[in-house]
Amino acid sequence: MLKLDIKKLLLLQAKACLNTNELAERANMPRITLTNIIHGKRNATTKTIGLLAKALGVEVIELIMDDK
């Protein structure tokens, strides 16, 4: 199962100079969904991880938590 690395997500979000509203809009998801994922209130689905990667212009692997 894929696990989203929130720290990597936030770093890439900052690198893209996007706030949460802008990233959610680019990823075509509700802002509250993204906020809940960031705050650990909800797990990201495989589809959500793919949408976030696409919105940030990165490969999915760049958002995935290392298994180390």
pLDDT, residue 21, reads 97
Cα 52 from Cα 45, distance rounded (Å) = 11
Tokens of 26: 């680019």
Q: For the whole model, what pTM was predicted?
A: 0.93
Burial category of 9 from C-beta neighbours within 10 Å (exposed 0-12, middle 13-18, buried 19 and up) = buried
User: The dihedral of CA 23, 55, 38, 25: what is its sign?
Assistant: positive
pLDDT, residue 34, reads 98
**DSSP-assigned letter for residue 34:** H
Options 3.40.50.300, 3.40.640.10, 1.10.260.40, 3.30.70.360; CATH of 6-63: 1.10.260.40
pLDDT, residue 39, reads 97
Q: In which band, very low, low, confident or very high, does the pLDDT at 15 lie, cut at 50, 70 and 90?
A: very high
Task: Measure the CA angle with vertex 31, ends 29 and 34; round to 5°.
Answer: 80
